[in-house]
């Protein structure tokens, strides 16, 4: 089998840099010394496993976590989590968080003067299924101002946190919506250097997955680095 | 056909309620024999504490086996997650990992893998905690060997009354060594 160890799998050419001065918070937080290349070991090829005990009954339906329905456009956000060899990443924890329809997070440090929604916490989690699929029901988040530069607004987005099956696959990213006029102006999105990379954090509207008379649907497929190997077997790389 | 990976984006400032787990800092339950606190502060390039970071750890059990590995302790999760507080501090209750031996018989000194996510980090930084009493095992450690000698000390925890201290300096003179995986 010609499987590649994650160590040698093609790296995304479109990772953002640490230092991206247009995103002001990177200036004092970006490492300034070169990274040290680490040949992957068991430490990086293994990773935590979480089961259904981490998932509550309403965790995949962000519109059903309170007594009433949240304000906003109901949407389904769904997709597959794959590794770079297109193998499904199974039974893996997916966590999401987002602003409400008015662009406000249910978070103590968010002081944007837009209304909180008592029926929306904006937090979801689920496990991928045997085909690597996940699915959330939520509302479309609003844009919000963030003071990075004069009149700065974040485009609408949903935050994603993924574990995959190995430490090396750990990923935190954001999903954006097609056609958002704020994307061109957003330094976080534009820190991804090439257009193909930016395309990979864009959801796609999917009419087939809409729920008639109920909700629109957006597909967001996620590709994690490396193959889904049993981390404790000898790989070509280690031979 | 290989697919390019989805790019990383910052965790931002609002992850707290979503990614904070009550049991996150407890890699082992309180009262576990041999447990100690691994504590530290995340600092920025001005030496100011980073009060909105998320620190995650991944480590082997005391026998040097990862969760899910043959012979590993099924009750040892090996994973910790702790947001920093207003003083930039984090803490994990854990056990000391053993020497990790790979399938070819090469050993790695006891270590804890660490990821730090934060507003202003467009992608995580990855580092490792090593322990001050393991000098002999560290001399042959493949990760430490890849680091210039004068920077290795940034990966050494310091012994404290209740465990160890490991500060993460994101930028500057004593910048922590970060790895490219």
Q: Measured between CB atoms, does A190 come within 8 Å of chain B? A: no
Q: Which SS3 state, helix, strand or coil, does residue A162 take?
A: strand
pLDDT band at B109; cut points 50, 70, 90:
very high
Please, which residues bridge with residue B55 across strands? B82, B116
Calculate mean pLDDT across residues A170-174: 98
pLDDT band at A12; cut points 50, 70, 90:
very low
Q: Measured between CB atoms, does A191 come within 8 Å of chain B? A: yes
Of A12, A47, A121, the CB nearest to B5: A12
For this structure, is A134 an active site residue?
Answer: no
Q: How many whole angstroms separate alpha carbon B23 and alpha carbon B164?
A: 20
Burial of A105 (0-12, 13-18, 19+ CB in 10 A): buried
- Tens-digit pLDDT profile for residues A221-238: 999 987 534 444 444 343
Calculate mean pLDDT across residues B122-148: 95
For this structure, is A159 an active site residue?
Answer: yes
Is there a contact between B2 and A84 if contact means CB atoms under 8 Å apart?
A: yes
Check residue B106 and give its pLDDT.
87
A-B C-beta contacts closer than 8 Å: 237
Using DSSP bridges, classify how beta strands B36-43 and B163-165 pair: parallel, antiparallel or unpaired.
Answer: parallel
Q: Which SS3 state, helix, strand or coil, does residue B144 take?
A: helix
- Residues in chain A with CB shorter than 8 Å from the CB of B147 are 36
Residue B162 per-residue DSSP state: T
- The nearest CA of chain A is from the CA of B130 a distance in Å of 13
Sign of CA dihedral B50, B52, B56, B57: positive
Question: Could you say which of A20, A23, A105, A176 is catalytic?
Answer: A105
User: Are the beta carbons of B174 and B146 closer than 8 angstroms?
Assistant: no
Mean of pLDDT over chain A: 90
Give the DSSP per-residue string, A94-145: EEEEE--TTS--SSTT---SS---TT---EEEEE--TTSEEEEEEEPPPPEE
Report the alpha-carbon angle B176-B177-B178, nearest 5.
110
For this structure, is A176 an active site residue?
Answer: no
What residue has token string 């602003």?
A99
Mean of pLDDT over chain B: 95
User: How much is the ipTM here?
Assistant: 0.96
Q: Measured between CB atoms, does B113 come within 8 Å of chain A? A: yes
Closest CA to A156 of A124, A182, A118: A182
Backbone dihedral angles phi then psi of residue A159, each to the nearest 5 degrees = -80, 140
What residue has token string 């840099």?
A17
pLDDT band at A4; cut points 50, 70, 90:
very low
Best mutation target, B2, B9, B47, to test chain A (most A CBs within 10 A) = B9
Which tokens in the block code for residue A73?
A: 């456009």
């Amino acid at each position: 089998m010609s499987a590649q160890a994650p160590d040698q799998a093609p790296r995304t050419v479109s990772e953002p840099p640490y230092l991206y001065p247009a995103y002001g918070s990177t200036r004092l937080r970006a490492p300034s010394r070169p990274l040290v290349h680490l040949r992957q070991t068991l430490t990086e090829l293994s990773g935590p496993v979480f089961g259904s005990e981490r998932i509550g009954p309403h965790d995949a339906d962000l519109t059903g976590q309170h007594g009433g329905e949240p304000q906003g456009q109901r949407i389904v956000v769904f997709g597959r989590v794959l590794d770079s060899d297109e193998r499904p990443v199974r039974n893996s924890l997916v966590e999401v968080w987002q602003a409400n329809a008015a662009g406000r997070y249910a978070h103590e440090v968010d002081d944007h003067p837009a209304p909180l929604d008592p029926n929306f916490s904006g937090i979801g989690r689920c496990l991928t299924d045997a085909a690597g699929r996940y699915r959330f029901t939520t509302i479309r988040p609003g844009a919000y101002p963030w003071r990075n530069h004069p009149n700065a607004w974040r485009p609408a987005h949903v935050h994603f946190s993924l574990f995959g099956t190995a430490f090396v696959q750990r990923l935190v990213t954001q999903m954006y919506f097609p056609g958002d006029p704020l994307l061109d102006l957003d330094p976080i999105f534009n820190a991804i250097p090439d257009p193909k990379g930016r395309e990979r954090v864009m959801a796609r509207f999917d009419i087939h997955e809409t729920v008639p008379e109920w909700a629109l649907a957006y597909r967001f497929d996620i590709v994690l680095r490396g193959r889904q190997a049993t981390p404790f077997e000898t790989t070509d790389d280690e031979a | 056909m290989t697919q390019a990976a989805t790019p990383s984006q910052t965790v931002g400032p609002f992850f707290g309620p979503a990614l904070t787990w009550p049991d996150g800092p407890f890699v082992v339950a309180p009262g576990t024999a041999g447990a100690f606190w691994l504590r530290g502060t995340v600092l920025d390039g001005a030496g100011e504490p980073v009060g909105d970071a998320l620190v995650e750890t991944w480590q082997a059990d005391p026998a040097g086996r990862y969760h899910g590995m043959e012979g590993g302790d099924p009750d040892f999760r090996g994973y910790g997650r702790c947001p920093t507080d207003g003083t930039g501090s984090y803490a994990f209750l854990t056990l000391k990992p053993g020497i990790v031996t790979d399938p070819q018989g090469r050993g790695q000194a006891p270590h804890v893998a660490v990821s730090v996510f934060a507003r202003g980090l467009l992608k995580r930084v990855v580092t490792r905690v090593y322990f001050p009493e393991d000098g002999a095992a560290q001399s042959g450690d493949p990760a430490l060997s890849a680091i210039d000698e004068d920077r290795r000390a940034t990966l050494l925890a310091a012994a404290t009354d209740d465990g160890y201290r490991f500060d993460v300096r994101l930028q500057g003179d004593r910048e922590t060594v970060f790895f490219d995986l």
